[in-house]
A and B are shown apart, each in its own frame.
Chain A
Amino acid sequence: MTSGAVANADVLEPEPLHPAEEEEDARPQSAWRTVIGNVEGQIGLVLGVLMLGLILFGRFFAPYSVTELGVGPQTAGPSTAHLLGTDNLGRDVFSRFLAGGDTILLVPLLAVTLAFVVGGGLGMLGAYARGQVDALITRTFDLLLTLPPLLLVLVIIAGLGTSKAVLVMTVALVFLPRVGRVVRGATQAVVTNDYVAAAQARGERTTAILGREVLPNIAAPAIADFALRITYGVIFVATLNFLGLGAQPPAPDWGLMVADSRNFLSVAPLATLAPAAGIAALSISFNLIADALTRHLTRETAKGVVPV
């Protein structure tokens, strides 16, 4: 709200007749209510639950072995025996599709959680402790932030090889300073409050103050950021799998399936398009939820402005 006209309008506004109602309105909505409260969040949530169900339980409905070669003819189109056709090695695409989503769900979840524990912890500590501790933490974040993420991850994988542990650690390393800065910013706004000073006066330990006073009050922006990071994480890990630097064959992984079947796009398009659609649906659902959350946190209105 930068416009002068708006400020004046606020002054001229009569005092609310029911102050209690006003207060209730200003109460922060829970993250859950925010997401189910608008169409964007609803679509994201429904899509997300569907994809989660598919990834977690889909494998139990796979009609064929996911790694067995030649269960059908090579690069065949869809049929009743093979709903999505077969790939260039005669594997059943539908079975592999049902089983292929776990890496891009699990690795981002672990990596983002790790980034929040380490980076978020450091960010909170920095904003709370201030002074040299803060300066050191902020400088470290800044240094890490200047490194191009994909390049950093590729280079580390070049040295340490591909395993799920390396994937989780490197993706967490990329997110760590970004999460840390968001959490630090949110904490800075909270630590000046009286309840923090009261806790300090009661002589509570730093960990208790951070955990009980600060953490609940930065939960909203942290949750929004978490959802956003998961989106990036899914994109990231899917990309690494596609580049052949994440999941290794013959694992039925969506990114890997896209890479393997890419050369057969004209003869067996579904072998490529089905896993690509899976990745897209998962990532879109998380991004819709993240956007619904963030939009709620930074409500934008354009009242009192001459339309241009």
Chain B
Amino acid sequence: MPEAGLPTVAGEEPAAAPPQSAPPAPSPGRAIRPPRSRFPRLESVARQLGAALLTLLVISLVTFAATNIKSPTDVARNALGRETSESQLQAYVKQHGLDKPIYIRYGNWLGDFVAGDWGTSAVTGREVRADVLPRLGKTLLLSLVALGVALPISILVGVFMARRIGSWEDLSLLIATVVLAALPEFVVGIGLLMLFAVTLHWLPVDSTALSFGTTVEKMKAYVLPTLTLVIAMVPYIARIARGAAQESLAAPYTQAALLRGLPRRTVIWDHAMRNAAVPLVNAVAINLVYLLSGVIVVENVFAFPGIGQALVQAIAQGDTLTVQAIALVMGAMFIAISLAADLLVVYFNPRLKAATA
């Protein structure tokens, strides 16, 4: 669920740097603080990686705690069925180490997970890893394609609006973003299904062709899920882009460039938007985790065989190990994409590259 704080243009502020990034206290008696590092860029990347790992650790903790809150016998009964004798239950508990304290079980699970052993699902009887990994690629591709389409459209719309602040075009587009942002992904998806699949018959009603169809069918299966995600993302990113563009278009350097008679196109894209890119990508990166969550819903609307669909299935079936694995993998995917966006900011802003303490 996106959290761009729709009307507030800046969206979510970045979560504060994690505790380990606190700068060392300056030693007393020295006028000039020594540079913290000779590689500030490397350090900032390392810091973000640290924050990402910390977040993943919290996700793993919350997931494990939530899914293991049931008593061991309940877990055993869940796996073996209701008509099970007491001794069978005890044997299952022993065999799966459910009699150990929860923190030891957590440690064992996390250790195994990192080592690549994701366990065997008690529900399907298959290896969790073999079930999840092939789906991950499809979800990742869907997310990236949607983002790749949504970002340029949003920026164009945002700049269009920022150039006409207060005009009827701006206001009607603003209202349009408010209306679109209020629609849950599944409502958008159903609307598109109705239009393009049921009425016009242009596209398939679900994405099951991904599992067995031809290449063309596979590509068609991506269209509606991507379009749904794009429609869910554009209102948020366009509002952020409008805010960023508005600020840099009104900035003195832009005004000066205009008054010097530089061509408008140059001023907008080379002067204003190059500077707007930093706050823009920053705000987008922070909201990405929320925007990308929509992929879970979209996959379920279109029966898209990704990890979002598998997650909801696993929850409905009480498949604990699969839920844990997907929560971690999906969390990692979201964080990796927004980390990549963060690195883009450095690329856009040479000042950050050259920055020394």
Contact = CB atoms under 8 A, between A and B. Distances in A.
Interface of A: 2-5, 40, 138-139, 142-143, 145-152, 154-160, 174, 178, 181, 224, 228, 231-232, 235-236, 238-239, 242-245, 255, 258-259, 262, 265-266, 269, 272-273, 276, 279-280, 283-284, 286-288, 290-291, 293-295, 298, 300-302, 305-308
Contacts of B109: none
B15 A155 contact: no
Contacts of B327: 151, 154-155
Interface string B63-95: 101111110000000000000000000000000
B181 to A, nearest CB: 6
Contact of A243 (B54, B65, B289, B312): B312
Nearest to B249: A308
A2 B251 contact: yes
Contacts of A294: 7-8
Contact of A308 (B163, B183, B184, B185): B163
Given A159-B70, A276-B191, A238 B62 contact: no
Contacts of B68: 159
Contact of A159 (B67, B174, B175, B293): B67
Given A152-B62, A244-B316, A284-B183, 12 more contacts: A2-B250, A40-B178, A142-B16, A148-B331, A154-B327, A158-B318, A181-B13, A245-B315, A284-B178, A287-B178, A290-B6, A306-B258
Given A265-B194, A305-B255, A239 B179 contact: no
B182 A242 contact: no
Interface string B2-18: 01011110001101100
Given A147-B58, A288-B178, A305-B249, A242 B1 contact: no
Interface in B113-137: none
B19 A148 contact: no
Contacts, number: 208
B250 A276 contact: no
Nearest to B334: A148
A99 to B, nearest CB: 19
Interface of B: 1, 3, 5-8, 12-13, 15-16, 19, 51, 54-55, 58-59, 62-63, 65-70, 163, 165-166, 174-175, 178-179, 181-187, 190-191, 193-194, 197-198, 205, 246-247, 249-252, 254-255, 258-259, 264, 267-268, 272, 289-290, 292-293, 296-297, 300-301, 311-312, 314-316, 318, 320, 323, 327, 330-331, 334
Given A269-B198, A273-B190, A305-B249, A145 B15 contact: yes
A178 B66 contact: no
Nearest to B330: A151
Given A154-B312, A265-B198, A242 B183 contact: no
